[in-house]
Structure 1
Amino acid sequence: MLERLFKLKANNTTVKTEVLAGITTFVTMAYILAVNPSQLSQAGMNANAVLIATALAACIGTLLMAFLANYPFALAPGMGLNTYFAFTVCLGMGFSWQLALLAVFVEGIIFLLLSLTNVREAIFNSIPMTLKHAVSVGIGLFIAFLGLQGSHLVVDQSVTLVTYQNFKENFNSVGISAVLALIGIVITAILLIKKVRGGILIGILATWVLGMICQATGLYVVNPELSCYSLYPDFSNGLNLGALGETFGQAFNIEAGSVRIADFILVVFAFLFVDLFDTLGTLIGVASKSNMLDKDGKLPRVKGALLADSLATCAGAVLGTSTTTTYVESSSGVSEGGRTGLTAVTAAILFFLSIFISPIFVAIPSFATAPALIIVGFYMIGAVAKINFEDMAEAIPAFLCIIAMPFMYSIAEGIALGVISYTLINVFSGKAKEKKISVLMYILTILFIAKYIIMAIL
């Protein structure tokens, strides 16, 4: 049955490999179960309800990806989008969280229509292969940067923006977290060099266990002010499934006259833009790294993947969470050998089970998942070798795309700069015909430029 559903032999994989990859993907993404409720509760939402909505939205979206596209990609409420939802839309613009959920739902419907009319697929296929390789590299740097931040190895600093951890300060909290992350990187690297199956997952669990030992011996001290929480699962609060009623269907509980149309359209557009290009960037980057793209740089069954993303966004809004999108952390499972929807099904089942044993997954610290992100970043950066650096018209836009993702903290902005620079550089250097730039690339360039102009005006 599994062979018939997921075509395991055709994808040169096994049930064991796929399940292990799904577990790895889930564990790498499990932080969203803690982060999303924390973020959205700032907008006045019930944190327990958001946790349940997050797990269910991730489960539904990931199952849709498995059965509509047979890809090993997992979905969950997106980081960045949840921050925009809570702090910009709700706290900054004064939207109620119910209205913000409605904006997410409307964005999902628009996304769905674009998917059904092949617009999103056309956008995916119109991006030159050089930029697709660049997106893979940029995402690799971006998620490695996320890992460095999550482990407290890299911290913010007023003069240089970022710097390395000062191990003398707060050693028993952020300092030891950074040390454990470094140990985790070494453990994971050794396991991978030794070709141990599940090396990334074992590295996550080993780093977590070391952390618990440090907490037990007093070497690691809980300090919530520095985002250093207990590493032991806490079941003391019990399980309240009824909390979901606090957010379920509230996207449609809007008082007449409370919607400012101009602001609402702007918010929908912002959600739409980031979701569209984050999703495309993730699909391009992860698929490129795992050799899922065909000889023309197209992703087979991309429409199914895009439909899954659209439907998941709508479902998430109804359940009570911000935009659900395809996760770049899916690359951790792909690096473990995941190639089919069975990987996604495994991750989806774990997201569902996490509702009942969420304290276990919430307790996995960011410094334990950081080594996985950094190692996966290493895997993905290999695509840089496929970029032709002898051709400046190809290499410079690729470089701009790559550096924008970590430095601007956005996959979408990296794609935008890559598209704009690729088009303008080739047009003004007289190479547009040679490069066979598509009409859609010109349209995307105009839209991206218009976006920046509008942002500057507003």
Structure 2
Amino acid sequence: MSTTLNRPASAAPPGTAGGPLDRFFRLRERGTSVPQEMIAGLTTFFAMAYIIAVNPAIMSQAGMDRGDLVIATALAAIFGCVMMGLTANLPLAVAPAMGSNVIFTFTLVKGMGVPWQGALAMVAFTGAIFLVLSLTKLREKVAKDVPEVLKVGISAAVGAYIVFIALRGAGFVVSNSSTFVALGSLREPSVLLTLAAILVTPMLVARRIPGALVISIAVLTLIGAFVPLPNGTMMTKAPGAFFALPHWPSSTFMALDFSYMFANFFVILPILFYFVCAEFFSTLATVIGVTGAANLRRPDGSIPNATAAFATDATATVVGPILGTSVVTAYIESVTGVQAGGKTGLTSITVALAFVLALFVWPVFTVIPAQATAPALVVVGVLMLQGLARIDMTELMNAVPVALTILITVLTNNLINGMAMGTLSYILLHLATGRVREVTGVVWGLGVVFIAYIAVMTRLT
């Protein structure tokens, strides 16, 4: 029998030298090694690297410079991953959040007319709120008092909204005077390519192909160089350079406009609530899921360094808008790194180093077309719908709030409208069935906020 199989449980795995890295990250204690952590970090990076292309593609539609957004996205991820690795020592990668960037662009800026500078200030403000929640017991109270049906409804609505935005941006879904929306012309090569990719990309993910979404984006971008658009140009335009030194995102750095936020505070209050809840609950679910997969939870179910992990996420959400991007959060794709053996913060540090290298090919990310990112966004949106499995949709008390939140969000192109209808229907159904005691103080407060929002918007429109 080999010496590896006979090694005592406390012995270090191959590649663990017992040096400073071992002592700081507790590699020996968690049964891992430097090579294993680096492989895990690279695995996580390739699973989530699509964000370098997708986040700028979405947020640039708010009027922000796409090149600066690429740099800001990478820098926010580098900051979050390094802080997570050094303070929480958990294999959690951190980067700008999918979902929140869509709400930032299409609900706040394009839908409500908020300047992107004011929207960045809102995100930073919610990060500060989340930091307070992370360092106090208020975190547990909020988690307890917001009912699961509303949390799942909001998450699913964002998922459905992401799918719709992706299909619309790729030309797969177009406006129609009779039916409002319709299928794009299948005579257009770019639409056919998007259709094929929407069918193939989930197959890659289902087969657990490493970096499936990145592969999808890369292949479609390359093919796009030979696919014409109706205007005669090619779907993918050649970048000015493939390698370039990273530059500072000067157009977005410190561009926050807090004066706009405070001048319109009550109008934007519902969306502030969304950002706080989205950041809070998505991070909570990710931390629980990743630490469970890594077998890092204590016997009593508690998570080691949980406060540091939440504080990292919140701090990164303050730093992200300062750089020029939206909410920053822990990524569920971190599970791929855990499956590759990641168990410590060295995995997160490795992810950060990979993002540093990506900064030197940033021009490539600025030419990736919407058709190339659409299939990846569809997969991400569908994954956000998975929470519906936890809800008993045969119960009308659950089905109505969830369905209204999803449908109203997509049909009105506005998440706040969906949240308002879902929350108010939840309250009214409980009143009608004599179960008013089940409505928590937090939900009553939300009801008041949404009624005030509807009244204000009715007067403004």
Q: TM-score, normalised on structure 1?
A: 0.71
Matched residues in 1 for 2:91 and 2:66: separation? 32
Matched residues in 1 for 2:63 and 2:28: separation? 37
Give the SS at the match of 2:359: coil
Q: What residue number does 1:32 align with?
A: 55
Task: Give the drift of 1:429.
Answer: 1.1
* Aligned counterparts, 1:115-154, within 5 A: 115-154=134-173
Q: Does 2:72 align with 1:59?
A: no
Give the SS at the match of 2:48: helix
Q: What residue number does 1:202 align with?
A: 215
Q: Which whole-Å deviations, capped at 9, do the CAs of 1:276-324 have from their partners, x for residues lacking one?
A: 2442464478789989799xxx9967755653443233323433x2543
Task: Give the drift of 1:163.
Answer: 1.3
Question: Which has the greater radius of gyration?
Answer: 2
Q: What residue number does 2:175 align with?
A: 156
Q: Does 2:105 align with 1:113?
A: no
Task: Give the drift of 1:132.
Answer: 3.8
Q: Which whole-Å deviations, capped at 9, do the CAs of 1:259-288 have from their partners, x for residues lacking one?
A: 579625457746633422442464478789
Give the SS at the match of 2:385: helix
CA distance change for structure 1 residues 166 and 37 in 2, over 3 Å: closer, same or farther?
closer
Match of 1:406 among 393, 407, 410: 410
The worse-fitting range, judged by mean Cα deviation, of 259-268 and 142-151 is 259-268
Q: What residue number does 1:230 align with?
A: 236
Q: Which whole-Å deviations, capped at 9, do the CAs of 1:176-229 have from their partners, x for residues lacking one?
A: 2221122223333443455544444333333333323xx2xxx4259599xx75
Matched residues in 1 for 2:146 and 2:157: separation? 15
Give the SS at the match of 2:102: coil
* Unmatched segments (≥5 aa) in structure 2: 1-21
Matched residues in 2 for 1:17 and 1:402: separation? 36
Matched residues in 2 for 1:232 and 1:308: separation? 38
Matched residues in 2 for 1:133 and 1:87: separation? 25
Q: Does 2:381 align with 1:362?
A: no
CA distance change for structure 1 residues 310 and 110 in 2, over 3 Å: closer, same or farther?
same
Match of 1:20 among 34, 43, 47: 43
Q: Which whole-Å deviations, capped at 9, do the CAs of 1:46-74 have from their partners, x for residues lacking one?
A: 66555533432343245445655754553
Task: Give the drift of 1:388.
Answer: 1.5
CA distance change for structure 1 residues 149 and 276 in 2, over 3 Å: closer, same or farther?
same
Task: Give the drift of 1:404.
Answer: 3.5
The worse-fitting range, judged by mean Cα deviation, of 445-454 and 78-87 is 78-87
Q: What residue number does 1:220 align with?
A: 228
Matched-pair contact (CA < 8 Å) for 2:81–2:92: no
Matched-pair contact (CA < 8 Å) for 2:283–2:313: no
Matched-pair contact (CA < 8 Å) for 1:135–1:284: no
CA distance change for structure 1 residues 426 and 29 in 2, over 3 Å: closer, same or farther?
farther
Number of positions where the alignment pairs a residue of Structure 1 with one of Structure 2? 420
Matched-pair contact (CA < 8 Å) for 1:333–1:343: no
Q: TM-score, normalised on structure 2?
A: 0.71
Matched-pair contact (CA < 8 Å) for 1:36–1:54: no
**Which amino acid is the alignment partner of residue 32 of structure 1?**
N
Q: Does 2:440 align with 1:432?
A: no
CA distance change for structure 1 residues 342 and 208 in 2, over 3 Å: closer, same or farther?
farther
Match of 1:184 among 187, 191, 197: 197
Give the SS at the match of 1:356: helix
* Aligned counterparts, 1:262-281, within 5 A: 263=263, 265-266=265-266, 269=269, 272-280=272-280
Give the SS at the match of 1:74: strand
Give the SS at the match of 1:162: strand
Q: Which whole-Å deviations, capped at 9, do the CAs of 1:323-378 have from their partners, x for residues lacking one?
A: 43448xx5666689779777765654444444321112223332222222323444
CA distance change for structure 1 residues 22 and 261 in 2, over 3 Å: closer, same or farther?
closer
Task: Give the drift of 1:147.
Answer: 3.0
Matched-pair contact (CA < 8 Å) for 1:72–1:334: no
Matched-pair contact (CA < 8 Å) for 2:243–2:363: no
Q: Which whole-Å deviations, capped at 9, do the CAs of 1:68-117 have from their partners, x for residues lacking one?
A: 5754553258234246776689xx67x7x777765654554344334434
Matched residues in 1 for 2:353 and 2:253: separation? 21
CA distance change for structure 1 residues 83 and 348 in 2, over 3 Å: closer, same or farther?
farther
Q: Which whole-Å deviations, capped at 9, do the CAs of 1:410-440 have from their partners, x for residues lacking one?
A: 555544433332232112211234xx44332
Matched residues in 2 for 1:18 and 1:391: separation? 43
Matched residues in 2 for 1:111 and 1:151: separation? 34
In percent, how many aligned pairs have the same letter? 26
**Which amino acid is the alignment partner of residue 161 of structure 1?**
F
Matched residues in 1 for 2:406 and 2:111: separation? 27
Matched-pair contact (CA < 8 Å) for 1:133–1:288: no
Q: Does 2:392 align with 1:388?
A: yes
Matched residues in 2 for 1:103 and 1:335: separation? 32
Task: Give the drift of 1:408.
Answer: 4.0
CA distance change for structure 1 residues 137 and 179 in 2, over 3 Å: closer, same or farther?
same
CA distance change for structure 1 residues 347 and 404 in 2, over 3 Å: closer, same or farther?
farther
Matched-pair contact (CA < 8 Å) for 1:85–1:322: no
CA distance change for structure 1 residues 60 and 83 in 2, over 3 Å: closer, same or farther?
farther
